[in-house]
Amino acid sequence: MKFDTHILPNGIKIIHQQSQSQVAHCGIIINAGSRDELETQHGIAHFIEHAVFKGTKKRKAYHVISRLENVGAEIDAFTTKENTCVYASFLYNYYERTIELVSDIIFNSTFPEKELNNEKEVIIEEINSYRDNPAELIFDDFEKQIFNGHPLSRDILGTPELLKKFTKKDIQSFINQNYSTNQIILCSVGNIKFSRLVNLTDKYFSKIPINISNSKRLQFNNYKVSGLVVKKKTHQTHCIIGNIAYKEEHKNKMTLELLNNLLAGSGLSSRLNVALREKKGLVYTVESFYTPYVDTGVSGIYFGTYNGNLNKSLNIIKKELFNIRNNKLGTLQLHRAKLKLIGSIAIASENKSDLILAVAKSFLQFNKIKTLDDIYSEIQNITAQQLLSTANEIYDFDNLSSLTYE
């Protein structure tokens, strides 16, 4: 798996993987997300992700969204706590059309007031929809709980109250502060020569004034164990137990990924799915999760169960955690766990847009490119002792926080 890279004079990076497919994927990742907001800006990074589609200096909103759709392509965007991304999938002969449009909406959006007001209502409905889904909301509330008082504690969507106050001036202020050229990368996978891609990127991005930023994010180092119970009028009890975890570049990151997949990752054969669902019928959904950030991370187990089965489910989970912390995996068990994780990663990597976005994020933030072969090799080198040590560190009962909706 070969990647080509280049850096424009203004600091904007380019990463590309050659592909012979008819379909290409291209996007922009900006190293700015909700954790970069001030408290009074809560939700503005996500709002900007919506607002850039609402008109540019030469296009009205309809012409922005139809520019690629008229040739059968798709364009979309998303915001995380650390990144903002605009990306497209298209037939490879529309590379220039795509790169020109992405450049236009990122750097030439005009943010007309009427369009902004309409989009605020759309996002308020998005917030309301999210609040109506406890199985999703609990993940944000759990991070709010364990990252208490830190920018990572705030969800991505913001609040209706703050959203209604945002102005074009507020948007421009956040962009000026956070959209530095050395914190932007164009990523691509498709049937185009790299020299041609560099020329196109140079044509549409090189005129962006250089704006170098080396600002550091506020580090998180104040975790305190907590347990919260929130009353909700739901048919199920929803629960998360978890802990802070390894940062993105931690040496044990992939070991935790393996542990996470073993406990309640993809498929029906994970330990917790077998123990809770297949054997006891206590849950419909149980999943383990691990979200790394640049300086910290969060890992935990989520499940939803009938209101009267909370303690029974927790006892089974704690029993499985005790086993994985005290009993080293045998050679065959470890081999199977590795094959399962490698297979899951391989299948996920078939989505080329997700693959190039993940690689680009690593190159943007850490100036590193980790190929699938690198990842597979790292997984194969994990020992049973490393897995045991990670389980004891992350799932130490004394360090687990909990959040319950009942």
Query: 184: buried, middle or exposed (CB in 10 Å: 19+, 13-18, 0-12)?
Result: buried
Single pTM value for the model: 0.94
- 122 — pLDDT class (breaks 50, 70, 90): very high
- Beta carbons of 280 and 316 less than 8 angstroms apart: yes
Q: What is the CATH number of the domain that holds 59?
A: 3.30.830.10
Q: Do 145 and 21 have their domain in common?
A: yes
- 240 — pLDDT class (breaks 50, 70, 90): very high
The count of structural domains within the chain is 2
At what angle are helices 384-394 and 253-264 packed, to 10 degrees?
Answer: 80
Average pLDDT along the chain: 95
The pLDDT, as a whole number, for residue 266 is: 80
The pLDDT, as a whole number, for residue 281 is: 96
Does residue 106 form part of some domain?
yes
% of residues, the chain, pLDDT over 70: 100
Task: Please compute the mean of the pLDDT values over residues 139-166 and round it to a whole number.
Answer: 97
Distance from C-alpha of 61 to C-alpha of 117, rounded to nearest angstrom = 13
Residue-wise pLDDT for 33-46, tens only, equals: 999 999 999 999 99
Provide the domain limits for residue 185.
4-205
Task: Please compute the mean of the pLDDT values over residues 330-336 and round it to a whole number.
Answer: 96
Distance from C-alpha of 340 to C-alpha of 329, rounded to nearest angstrom = 15
Q: Do 79 and 121 have their domain in common?
A: yes
Does residue 222 form part of some domain?
no
Question: If you ran DSSP here, which 8-state letter would residue 209 be given?
Answer: P
